[in-house]
Amino acid sequence: MLHIALHFIAPAVLVALFWRKRWWQSYLCLLAGLAIDVDHLLANPVYDPLRCSIGFHPLHTWPAALVYLVLCVYPRTRIFGIGLLLHLLLDAGDCAQMPGGVERLRDYLPW
């Protein structure tokens, strides 16, 4: 439950720190990062609290992260890209809390 709350709290913190002028638009752009969880619909079961999303769901993989990183390069898509990378970071944090999660993440990291 804390993990889900963090998907809403962390963007609010970023907006408060960096995008106060257009805070609501920035917040919505960051929240749009939640859209990548649509890839959970490809899994069976759709939701498994003990499954690490990172490296399992297609939009939670390194190739996808590279695309999100490229989105950060362009000013028009930057906040959206940051929201997507923030999503992956929060999901990785969730994985690290799972039994054996740190090892699974370490095995998935390319370095």
**Min dist. Cβ of residue 20 to Zn ion (A):** 27
CB-based closest residue to Zn ion:
91
Rounded CA-CA distance 94/98 in Å is 7
Nearer to Zn ion, 86 or 91 (CB): 91
Token pair, residue 65, equals 């992260």
- Asked if 26 touches Zn ion (CB under 5 A), the answer is no
Question: Could you say which of 19, 71, 91, 95 contacts Zn ion (CB under 5 A)?
Answer: 91
Query: What separation, in Å, do the N-terminal and C-terminal C-alpha atoms of the chain show?
Result: 31
**Min dist. Cβ of residue 36 to Zn ion (A):** 6
Rounded CA-CA distance 55/80 in Å is 21
